[in-house]
Chains A and B, each alone.
Chain A
Amino acid sequence: MIKLIEKIEGEAKLNFNFKDNKIDFVDIEFMSTRNIENILRGKNAFDALVINPRVCGICGHAHLIATVQALEDCYDNLELSNKAKIIRELTLNFELIQNHFKWYYLTMLPLFGHKQQVLKATFPSQLMGKAIALFGGQYPHTSYAIVGGVVCEITEIDIIKLQHYIAQTIKFVEDNLVKTDSENFLTCKDADVLLDYEGDLPDILRQIKKEELLEYGKSYDRFISFGENSYFKKGKSLKTKVSHNISVEHVKESEMPSSFAKNVSFKDKYYEVGPLARAMVNKTPLIADAHKKYGDSIFSRILARVCEISQLLEHSKKLIKDLDLSEESYIEPSIDISQLNSSGYSAVEAARGTLIHKVEIENGIIKNYEIITPTQWNLSGGTKDKLGVSQKAMIGLSDIKTAELVFKSFDVCSVCTTH
């Protein structure tokens, strides 16, 4: 039985095979592509800063940051001010936050039989959009990060505005998502305690428990996260065993005959990426507790993503305190790009998980460009003997509606995936 999954920024086609009334195998197909990597070849290296955000309208900013870091990796001794680093991290945080709100209110709630709450999705994401626009000029599709720093010269007034946007977003969380002081939510270490709170998140978590969906959505219990910054750590987690010693070298992309998307594996194994993976690698107490009790089920996956909203808002407040406006925004690289023959890569944590960019430059012209997106990790379509992460999570379910819920709990994005 074929089912189209939309409302995921583009479209994916899932072909369900049933055996004894249970899902036996799911074929995942993506039916469109734009071939951006091909377009990048032969272009001036800096043009990638304009083209790549357009890979995706929802996580375009992560693509910008990945691009600029991959290009900077091509230089030997590139200097970057602390201020530029913090600003880039802030805007990326805001993008993650706005995405999580929209996913929760637009995609998740209807799947649990609730009304889609458009305004609850747009209000906080507009605030975060404005916060990005303060630095980047617009959102989506800013190109304000450049090799050597950022172009914006912000002032104290911008900081005041920014703090206001963050405060309002935190207030929204406290009034709607989890009705308590953010401090309580952030320091909560017991997933079951959370169930006693009021709010849109505890409502859904209680519903998962009541309707006995706790076993749904379990996959390999194998997580990976490559993007490193002042908040996220790099590493992989096998059940709860975390190791930080991993290398992008072992990440491989392979073509699939039936789909425009490519599979991604690490040392020939499929890994889950995204907020749950990041929390497992970071050993976030609340998520670790949910994982201990309910494994890598939809419960933990949904909780991890929503929890990230509050964590990143809090962390952003700290980052702003570290911001020194008197530092340089931009430090000119010592070599002009046109004299550069080199290659580089980057890994950043986008809303949906690890995003990797790899670039080869010859005399300042892009010779090769490779983009590996988060959804490729989670949606890699494997064979029956070697299932992809989301495929495995759907096997054994008895109806398509639940399968759709499980599938979308990964927050899939097909525009990105096929780029």
Chain B
Amino acid sequence: MKNNSLFNKLSSRLDELSNLPKLDDEVSISKLIEEKGFSRREFMGWAGAMTAMLTLPASFTPLVAKAAEMADRLPLVWLHMAECTGCSESLLRSATPSIDSLIFDYISLEYHETIMAAAGWQAEQNLEHAIQKYKGRYILMVEGGIPHGESDYFLTVGAHGKTGEQSAKEASANAAAIFAIGTCSSFGGVQAAYPNPTNATALSNVTDRPVINVPGCPPSESNIVGTLLHFILYGTLPALDVYNRPKWAYGLRIHDSCERRGRFDAGEFVEQFGDEGAKDGYCLYKVGCKGPYTFNNCSKQKFNQGTSWPVQAGHGCMGCSEPDFWDKMGIVHEPLGDRLYHTVFGGLGSDATADKIGVGILTVTAVGIAAHAAISLVKKPKE
């Protein structure tokens, strides 16, 4: 079996982890989950879903389950920077059965402000204590952009009036792995939009340690949890794209597995919200969908336990997991069309991804060509 070597590698990683001390000797994650009323079967079902998301074969499910049970060997520090707390909210709303939130809740050290019981001095001491105690072992997750340089005072945290920048730097220095959760800590986010009044920047710009970006505004709960499980399983950083995003989640464009992709290929577009096309679920490109330029797995994972996602609801993707989407992917209800915008494709113009790079698929059929022609039409001018 060609996956054997990977399977063995991951198994020995988990064995190594199991030798590390647990957060609490009296508690085990499997017991914790059982106590909260989840059966083994439900837990394995959840692990199976996670396995598929991490693009591993189904035979790896027991490993993923074991990884989840090992989570208490690698404690988690979660820091809030300049943000709206939407990412924590996304996590709080993660799947029922709330196995993900249970695990997160349990392994999170005392500094997850939103849900933690201690406050103020106590919390800050807890954080410092945790950083010392678990030096080199904890996973750091940071939510929010970081006002930096001379503007760092726009974010002061904790009782000692430290700036957010200082606090993020210090926590990064001793972490085993660092994850920027959400577009704000990955790329600066909404507060970094022009004119960036607080000089907010990405976590990767304030530390010299490698940072894995898990962007999205907010990222889906499954991408946050998946990132954690991936690290536990592999013990190394995942394969990354040019923006340091894990490829297992951000490897494909929204457009690639969009449920309305067939409509795009057939040249069937919503011309205006509320029209017949909108009712029939036509492609949203012409009303501003940025799916062809956005790398994320929303179309597969969806949000709120798979309930829906923006394109399903009839609103185009706004490109929220791309850097500076506020400034570079506007205007919200209009297609990017031929307006120039700086991409990894060397500023070929925004449609470079859709036309020059993605066009190979389209031109195979005559329908595809028709679609290609259709997207270059300007949206119907209004009176």
- Report the number of A-B residue pairs with Cβ-Cβ less than 8 Å: 234
Known: A2-B159, A4-B119. A33 touches B85 (CB 8 A): no
Q: B111 — nearest CB in chain A belongs to which residue?
A: A6
Query: Is the pair B101, A122 in contact by a Cβ cutoff of 8 Å?
Result: yes
Taken together as a complex, chains A and B put the C-alpha atoms of A145 and B382 apart, in Å, by 20
Count of interface residues, chain B, beta-carbon cutoff 8 Å:
77
Taken together as a complex, chains A and B put the C-alpha atoms of A117 and B350 apart, in Å, by 48
Taken together as a complex, chains A and B put the C-alpha atoms of A308 and B117 apart, in Å, by 25
Known: A51-B193, A330-B274. A144 touches B313 (CB 8 A): yes
User: Shortest CB–CB separation between residue B1 and chain A, in angstroms?
Assistant: 39
Interface mask (B117-155 → A, CB under 8 Å = 1, otherwise 0): 101110110000000000000000000010100000011
Residues in chain A near residue B124, CB distance under 8 A? 4
Asked whether A315 is an interface residue with its Cβ less than 8 Å from the other chain, the reply is no
Query: Is the pair B304, A330 in contact by a Cβ cutoff of 8 Å?
Result: no
Interface mask (B75-113 → A, CB under 8 Å = 1, otherwise 0): 000001011111111101100101001100100000001
Interface mask (B150-165 → A, CB under 8 Å = 1, otherwise 0): 0000111111010010
Taken together as a complex, chains A and B put the C-alpha atoms of A49 and B331 apart, in Å, by 11
Asked whether B217 is an interface residue with its Cβ less than 8 Å from the other chain, the reply is yes
Taken together as a complex, chains A and B put the C-alpha atoms of A302 and B382 apart, in Å, by 50
User: Shortest CB–CB separation between residue B352 and chain A, in angstroms?
Assistant: 23
User: Shortest CB–CB separation between residue A312 and chain B, in angstroms?
Assistant: 19
Q: B121 — nearest CB in chain A belongs to which residue?
A: A4
Asked whether A226 is an interface residue with its Cβ less than 8 Å from the other chain, the reply is no
Taken together as a complex, chains A and B put the C-alpha atoms of A49 and B315 apart, in Å, by 12
- Flag the segment in A54-62, A216-224, A354-362 that touches B: A54-62
Known: A6-B123, A138-B308. A31 touches B86 (CB 8 A): no
Asked whether B59 is an interface residue with its Cβ less than 8 Å from the other chain, the reply is no
Known: A58-B89, A149-B274, A415-B85. A36 touches B305 (CB 8 A): no
Interface mask (A143-167 → B, CB under 8 Å = 1, otherwise 0): 1101011011100000000000000
- Sample of 23 A–B contacts (CB below 8 Å): A4-B124, A6-B119, A6-B123, A7-B116, A11-B157, A31-B156, A32-B147, A32-B154, A32-B157, A34-B197, A35-B154, A43-B330, A44-B330, A47-B332, A50-B332, A54-B190, A116-B115, A126-B304, A134-B307, A137-B303, A141-B218, A141-B320, A415-B84
Chain B interfacial positions (CB closer than 8 Å to A): 36, 80, 82-90, 92-93, 96, 98, 101-102, 105, 113-117, 119-121, 123-124, 145, 147, 154-159, 161, 164, 189-191, 193-198, 200, 217-218, 272-274, 278-279, 281, 303-305, 307-315, 318, 320, 326, 330-333, 382-383
| Sample of 5 further A-B pairs with CB below 8 A, known A125-B92, A133-B307 | A47-B330, A54-B217, A118-B101, A142-B313, A336-B383
